[in-house]
């Protein structure tokens, strides 16, 4: 736990000491576009066609949940124990 705290502190200190040199300068022609960040661009693309984004999100969630659809979450009964066992 201590090493995680130290690593977080040192990374933040190093990034702060580097200042603007850390920033990536990809969009020289549009500084606002470069400053808005990755998540703002991702959100604008997702909200451009919200129905498509909703559909793709639902397909992803159903695909990840597919293995759980075959589960039987019931409690085990006496059939779980062998017939010769004394616990039965």
Listed by start position, the domains of the chain span 31-55
Q: What is the pLDDT of residues 2-48, one digit of tens each?
A: 677 777 777 777 777 777 666 665 555 666 666 677 788 888 888 99
Q: 23 near 31, Cβ under 8 Å? A: no
88 has pLDDT over 60: no
Which bin fits 42, alpha (ψ -120 to 50), beta or left (φ > 0)? alpha
Residue 80: is its pLDDT beyond 80? Answer: no
User: For the whole model, what pTM was predicted?
Assistant: 0.43
- Top pLDDT among 72 and 88 is at 72
**Whether pLDDT at 55 is above 80:** yes
Average pLDDT over residues 42-65: 92
Rounded CA-CA distance 8/15 in Å is 11
Secondary structure string (H, E, C) spanning 72-83: CCCCCCHHHCCC
Three-point CA angle 69, 75, 76, nearest 5°:
110
């Amino acid at each position: 736990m201590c090493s995680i705290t130290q690593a977080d502190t040192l990374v933040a200190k190093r990034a702060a000491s580097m200042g603007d040199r850390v920033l990536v300068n990809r969009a020289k022609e549009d500084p606002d576009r470069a400053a808005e960040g990755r998540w703002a661009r991702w959100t604008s693309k997702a909200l451009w066609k919200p129905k498509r984004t909703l559909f793709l999100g639902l397909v992803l969630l159903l695909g990840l949940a597919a293995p759980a659809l075959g589960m039987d979450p019931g409690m085990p009964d006496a059939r779980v124990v062998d017939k010769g066992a004394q616990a039965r």
